Structure 1
C-alpha cells in the first residue's frame, strides 16, 4: 500500500500550500505539517522549502514528486481498468500562454475544450514571461521558442514567421526604408528583451540593435502602437496577419524577415505518466489551431507593397 505521507506530499505540491492540502485530505494543517516533517526525517532530505510567502519543492522534492505522481497516476489507471472506468480528463489544469497568442488564438476556442472535458477545472494565465513550469506548478505551457529544455516534453503546434510592418500613415510621413540599416533612422518598436532584431534575406544576415521608440514590456502594446502609426515593428504573422490582410499594416523591407527558427510549442514536464487532462489539452490545441495562415509571409504580398507605395506618394 502506498504510504499516505506520499499522498500528502503530492497534495501539498499540487495545492501549493499545507492548508489547502490539509483541507483536501480532511486533516488539520498542524497534522499535515507534522506528517510532512516526519516524511522528510525518514528520507533524510528536505523536500519542501518553506518561506513566509510561498512554498516550493527543493530539487530533491521535484524529483520525488515526479516519481510519486507517476505512481499515483498508475494506481488510478489500474483502478480504472479494474472497475471499467475510462481515464477521463479531470481535476485542476493550469495553463500558461503568451498574452497575445492566448487572447487571439486560445481563448476564443476554449469553449470546445471545456465542453469536451467538463470535469476539468481550467486555470489560464496569460503572460509574456518565460515561466518555470515546475516552480509555478504549470501543467501545460504554450511557448514560442527555438530551444526546448530537456526537462520538458514539446509538441509542435506550428511555425512562427515574423516580418517587419508599419501602418500606411507612418510610411506616408517617414518614408519606406530601403535597406536594413535604414531602419536605424526610423522609429522602431519592440518589447523589452526583443533586441537585437535578427533579420535574414536568403543568405544575407543583419542585426539591428536599437531602442524602442516607446519602452514597454508588452508585445500587445507594440502591435497597437504599430497599428496607430507610431513606428515599425517586427511581428509574428499570427499576431498581425489580419491587420496585414486588411491593409491596416503593410510589409516593410519585403524579402527581409526574422529567422524561421522559432516554433509554437505546447510544453509539459517530462514524466513517466502524463495526466489525462494534459494529454487532452495538447490534443485540443493540435486539433483546433490551424497553423496554415502563419506558415508563410504571403499575406504581406503585392497588394501591401502597392498600398505602402501609394501611402508614401500621398
Structure 2
C-alpha cells in the first residue's frame, strides 16, 4: 500500500458507496458525476493495491479487503474534517453532510421544524435523515448521530442526554364519551390500551416509585405514529409524548387523561454517537439545537 496515493476524495466515494449501496447514490450524495465517482474509487483501489468493491450496474458489495478497510476510511474522513474545522473554522458555521437517524414521531414533530433554521444559520451544511422506528447500527451505516428515547441498549456507543421526554395519557373525545374516563391506575384494566406491538406493560410513577402496569387492548401498532393515529381515531387510550400530542389536544382531537394516583413515567432523550472523538461542528450545532428545542417543548408543556 502506497500511503501517498490514498486520495481522500476516493475514500469519501468508497464510504458513501458502502453506506448508500451504489456508486450512483454515492455520487448524488457528494454532488459529483457518477463517472467521477467511479474514477476516484478506481484510483483509490490502485493506490491501495487491492479491490475494495465488487460492482454491478446497480449496486456494489464490499470485498473482504473492503470490509477491513471500512472503519479506517471513516476514521480518515472524520480526522480530516475535524482538522479542517480546527485550523480553518468556517465563518458561515458548520459545513458538510450530517447523517442522522431518529424515530418517525420525534423526527417529524421536533427535528424537522428546526432543520430549516439550522440550514439557514449554516449555509454549508447538508442533512441526510433516516426516520425509522427500527434500531439502526450507526457504525456500519455511517450515521453521525442518532436520537433515541428511553433506555439505551448498546453500551459500546457514546451518548449524551438532551432532556426529558414527558409523556401523558391520552384518548379521543369519542372514545371517552363511549367508555368514560379512567380515574385511577387500576381503572386501566377496563379500557382498551393502544401500544406498540409487543408491549405488555406501561410504566407509571406512583407516589415517587415506578410501577409497571399490565395493559390489554384490541389494537397494537408497529410504530408510535400508528399508535397516535389509532388514538385520534378513537380506538382507545395511549401514552404519548407531549410534543407528539400537544397540538391535537389544543385542537380538541385528543384529551389528556389525568389519573388521581399516577402519571406516565418520563423517559430520557439521548444523542448517540459512534465514536468518542471530539464532536465535529456539524454534529455539535445539531445537538445544541436539539437540546434548545427540547427545552422549549418542556417549558411549553409545563
Q: Distance in 2 between matches of 1:89 and 1:204?
A: 42
> Structure 1's 285 and 178: CA in aligned 2 closer, same or farther, altered over 3 A?
closer
Q: Distance in 2 between matches of 1:2 and 1:26?
A: 24
TM-superposition CA deviations, 1:67-121 (whole Å, max 9, x none): 323432354346637xxx6584222222222222222222223221111111112
Q: Distance in 2 between matches of 1:74 and 1:168?
A: 53
Q: Mind listing any 5+ residue stretches in structure 1 that lack a counterpart? A: 299-314
Q: Does 1:192 align with 2:197?
A: yes
Instruction: Specify which of 156, 161, 165 is matched with residue 160 of structure 1.
Output: 165
Does the CA contact (< 8 Å) of 2:13 and 2:37 recur in 1?
no
Does the CA contact (< 8 Å) of 1:80 and 1:87 recur in 2?
no
The TM-score normalised by the length of structure 2 is 0.76
Q: Distance in 1 between matches of 2:210 and 2:83?
A: 56
TM-superposition CA deviations, 1:25-60 (whole Å, max 9, x none): 97573772574376375xxxx977989855469774
**Equivalent position SS for 1:197:** strand
> Structure 1's 49 and 154: CA in aligned 2 closer, same or farther, altered over 3 A?
farther
Larger mean Cα displacement after TM superposition, 221-230 or 30-39? 30-39
**Equivalent position SS for 1:130:** coil
In structure 2, the partner of 1:236 is 241
The TM-score normalised by the length of structure 1 is 0.73
Instruction: Specify which of 140, 146, 150 is matched with residue 145 of structure 1.
Output: 150
Q: Does 1:68 align with 2:69?
A: no
In structure 2, the partner of 1:257 is 263
Instruction: Specify which of 212, 220, 235 is matched with residue 206 of structure 1.
Output: 212
**Equivalent position SS for 1:138:** coil
Q: Distance in 2 between matches of 1:282 and 1:93?
A: 11
Q: Does 1:275 align with 2:280?
A: yes
Does the CA contact (< 8 Å) of 1:164 and 1:252 recur in 2?
yes
Q: Distance in 1 between matches of 2:275 and 2:236?
A: 42
Q: Distance in 2 between matches of 1:28 and 1:141?
A: 28
**Equivalent position SS for 2:147:** strand
In structure 1, the partner of 2:127 is 122
Does the CA contact (< 8 Å) of 1:73 and 1:273 recur in 2?
no
Does the CA contact (< 8 Å) of 2:168 and 2:256 recur in 1?
no
> Structure 1's 264 and 166: CA in aligned 2 closer, same or farther, altered over 3 A?
same
Q: Over the residues paired in the alignment, what is the CA RMSD in angstroms?
A: 3.7
Instruction: Specify which of 8, 11, 31 is matched with residue 9 of structure 1.
Output: 11
Q: Distance in 1 between matches of 2:286 and 2:241?
A: 24
Give the C-alpha shift of residue 132 in structure 1.
1.8
Q: Mind listing any 5+ residue stretches in structure 2 that lack a counterpart? A: none
> Structure 1's 264 and 195: CA in aligned 2 closer, same or farther, altered over 3 A?
same
> Structure 1's 54 and 187: CA in aligned 2 closer, same or farther, altered over 3 A?
farther
In structure 2, the partner of 1:169 is 174
TM-superposition CA deviations, 1:250-283 (whole Å, max 9, x none): 31534323333x2122233215243321222222
Instruction: Specify which of 113, 117, 133 is matched with residue 138 of structure 2.
Output: 133
